[in-house]
Amino acid sequence: MKGRDILLALVVVSVWGFNFVVIKIGLQELPPILFAALRFALAAFPAVLFLKRPRTSMKLVVLFGLFMFALQFGLLFAGMHLGIPAGLASLVLQVHVFITIALAVAFLGETASPAQIAGATLATAGLGLVAFNLTGSTTLTGLGLVVLAACSWAIANLVTKRIGTVDLLSLVAWGSLVAPLPLLLLSAFVEGLDVYRQVYETVSWRGLFALFYIVYPTTLLGFSVWSGLLARYPAATVAPFTLLVPIVGMLSAALVLGEPLEPWKLGAAALVVSGLCVNLFGWPSAARLRRTGG
């Protein structure tokens, strides 16, 4: 990759990692489900007026929008609201990779490689370490909702596989168009209609900044740059940069929100990220070690 494109990839994953901190800030002023609904309403409009509909069936676009956006982020925001720190949320959500593999084996007849099984085992151990160390700031409900968000992301990955190669930014914009209505209906049912008045009367610049950040830098700008990188380079070259997302998430949460980096959190992060690395790169073979002088 060219130096400029490496820098762009690092900027995008940094924006995505810091996004978890911004979500936590926004949740101090905005109800979680309404927050998610507003995110995708603003991500869809006016973008869909300028971007052509993806060249795939509208049914698949709707399924993508429901699982990738409405369910995933409704569950993620609710989980972070009910009890999981931003840094841990950024880490736990990464298990979607291994849930995707499990679903592909179960429903698409794919075969998991030994490296994928080993990676999933490491990541599961990391998730177990999180569950074993639940504290006042991390509840079983919050953790469970984020795991369900990862499941929704995994289902969306299978839908994306069915969609095939399309313009990523167009898919994001039109998928975002699907999410607001079910989220708004759920918000009205769960959070009540009075929250609209409360948000209008009490939201500060912090809440507005959080909404702006998760719509424009995170969603539209981030996916626009990422789609450009995927168009210029193989996915195997670009994908490894996403390993930095939970690292940025945990470090920025510690620096900005003061979330402590206890040894067990670092251990869980090491297990999950190691699992992701094994899944992505495989085990180092003897020949590869000889070539690198190991």
Dihedral sign of CA atoms 120, 162, 179, 23 in order: positive
* CA-based max dimension of the chain: 66
In the numeric block, which tokens belong to residue 163? 């969609």
Q: For helices 96-107 and 114-132, what crossing angle results, to 10°?
A: 130
Predicted pLDDT of residue 283: 65
Shortest CA distance to 209 belongs to which of 15, 11, 22, 19?
A: 22
Burial of 52 (0-12, 13-18, 19+ CB in 10 A): exposed
Q: How many CA atoms lie within 13 A of 15 on its CB side?
A: 22
Q: What's at 184, amino acid-wise?
A: L
Predicted pLDDT of residue 132: 87
Predicted pLDDT of residue 254: 94
Predicted pLDDT of residue 292: 44
Per DSSP, which regions of the chain are E strands? none
- The whole-angstrom separation of Cα 29 and Cα 144 is 23
In the numeric block, which tokens belong to residue 51? 């971007």
Instruction: Give the pLDDT of the chain (294 residues) as one tens digit per residue.
Output: 888 999 999 999 999 999 999 999 999 999 999 999 999 999 999 999 999 999 999 999 999 999 999 999 999 999 999 999 999 999 999 999 899 989 999 998 888 888 889 999 999 999 998 888 877 778 999 999 999 999 999 999 999 989 888 888 899 999 999 999 999 999 999 999 999 999 999 999 999 999 999 999 999 899 889 888 888 888 778 888 888 999 999 999 999 999 998 898 999 999 999 998 998 888 665 444 444 444
Shortest CA distance to 90 belongs to which of 274, 211, 268, 236?
A: 268
Long-range contacts of 262-267 (CB under 8 A, 24+ apart): 262/133, 264/129, 264/130, 264/132, 264/133, 265/87, 265/88, 265/130, 265/133, 267/126, 267/129
Predicted pLDDT of residue 284: 60
Supply the range of the domain harboring residue 230: 3-291
Whether pTM > 0.85 for this model: the answer is yes
Structural domain count of the chain: 1
Q: Please, what's the b/e burial string for 177-200 (b: 16 or more CB within 10 A of its CB; e: otherwise)?
A: bbbbebbbebbeeebeeebeeebe
- The whole-angstrom separation of Cα 50 and Cα 32 is 29
